[in-house]
């Protein structure tokens, strides 16, 4: 009988444990070290920064490869919804893919603001793949200086 030779490491002596743990942490993997098969593939959900000043809310997101025209941005009452799709690449059949870590697909992000935003005066811009959305607060909600 042919037996496969396997290398076992004591829990504290695995030379790659720290690297795997850091990679799982950076990917936000809820099940580190476990490869769960999925039928939908990797999910693309861009990260946003949401900042607040005395006069506005500012949302920033890195969306490389997308343009403003690729996004649907809708502000209704106090809710901002951003949807879009980042399309994947196709490779020739004879191409060996050793690592595919970039995420592609449709996404939807929704942010709720407290009462008092002025959606009609919102500004949207994108420079070098960085989306910026400025949502001003209503002037009557600001404190007197």
Is 132 part of a structural domain of the chain?
Answer: yes
For residue 131, the domain's CATH number is: 2.60.40.790
- Phi first, then psi, for residue 42 (nearest 5°) are -65, 145
Do 131 and 71 touch, CB atoms closer than 8 A?
yes
Cα 84–chain centre separation: 12
Is 113 part of a structural domain of the chain?
Answer: yes
Is 66 part of a structural domain of the chain?
Answer: yes
Q: Is 101 or 133 the better-scoring residue by pLDDT?
A: 133
Is 97 part of a structural domain of the chain?
Answer: no
Do 66 and 142 touch, CB atoms closer than 8 A?
no
Q: Which domain holds residue 82?
A: 45-87+105-139
Is 115 part of a structural domain of the chain?
Answer: yes
Is 28 part of a structural domain of the chain?
Answer: no
pLDDT (tens digit per residue) in 39-72: 455 567 888 999 999 999 999 999 988 999 999 9
Which residue do the tokens 């444990």 mark? 17
Q: How many domains does the chain have?
A: 1
pLDDT (tens digit per residue) in 85-130: 888 777 788 888 777 777 778 889 999 988 788 888 999 999 999 9
Do 83 and 47 touch, CB atoms closer than 8 A?
no
Is 111 part of a structural domain of the chain?
Answer: yes
Give me the count of residues in the chain. Answer: 145
Is 36 part of a structural domain of the chain?
Answer: no
- Reported pTM: 0.64
Mean pLDDT of 23-51: 65
């Amino acid at each position: 009988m042919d037996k496969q030779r396997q290398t076992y490491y004591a829990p504290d002596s695995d030379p790659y444990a720290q690297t795997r743990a850091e990679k799982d942490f950076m990917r936000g993997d809820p099940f580190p070290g476990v490869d769960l098969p999925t039928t939908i593939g990797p999910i693309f959900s861009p990260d946003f920064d949401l900042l607040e000043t005395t006069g506005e809310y500012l949302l920033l997101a890195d969306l490389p490869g997308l343009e403003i025209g690729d996004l649907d941005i809708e502000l209704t009452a106090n809710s901002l919804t951003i949807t879009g799709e980042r399309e994947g690449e196709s490779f020739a059949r004879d191409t060996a893919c050793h690592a595919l870590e970039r995420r592609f697909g449709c996404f939807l992000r929704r942010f709720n603001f407290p009462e008092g935003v002025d959606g009609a005066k919102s500004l949207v811009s994108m420079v070098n793949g960085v989306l910026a959305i400025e949502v001003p607060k209503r002037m009557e909600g600001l404190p007197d200086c």
